[in-house]
Amino acid sequence: MARSIPPTDVLITLMGSPHESERVTSALRLVQALLEQGRAVQVWACGYATLLTQNPLGEDKPRNLANWNGVYPSTAALVKDMLETFPGRLYWYGCRFCSDDRGAADHLPQVVMRPPSGYGANVAAAGRTLQVGVL
């Protein structure tokens, strides 16, 4: 039986290499702003963006040699925090093909892995779709 996709106001399709640019930061800022305005949001991570929610990333990034005592949350921790802060209004999906292809097999429990063929159902469940980045 096909999974039912909860309707959301916006679907953000996040693609591309996470650390190539500030794209992930911008996307997370936008997701947070939408949620704080009471909107429901789903994120579909595709390509290397599927690496963002892996459990092995832990809570914090590795130590910064230029700021030894600084603590920087991992992307997995940021996503986890938003999912827990906005239950029922933020959904995070990952493309199973892209994730498997990159060996990313261990994600946050709240992340729903979806087949590429299911993407259309996510688009249909969104009032508006915004594609951020390219594969």
Q: 95-103 contacts: CB < 8 A, separation 24 or more?
A: 95/44, 95/45, 95/46, 95/47, 95/50, 95/119, 98/45, 98/46, 98/47, 98/48, 98/49, 98/50, 99/50, 102/48, 102/50, 102/51
The span of 31-39, 46-54, 83-91, 94-102 binding another protein (CB under 8 A) equals 31-39
The span of 35-43, 60-68, 83-91, 104-112 binding another protein (CB under 8 A) equals 35-43
The span of 60-68, 76-84, 103-111, 127-135 binding another protein (CB under 8 A) equals 127-135
Interface contacts to another protein, rule CB under 8 A:
9-10, 21-23, 26, 29-30, 32-34, 36-37, 39, 127-128, 130-133
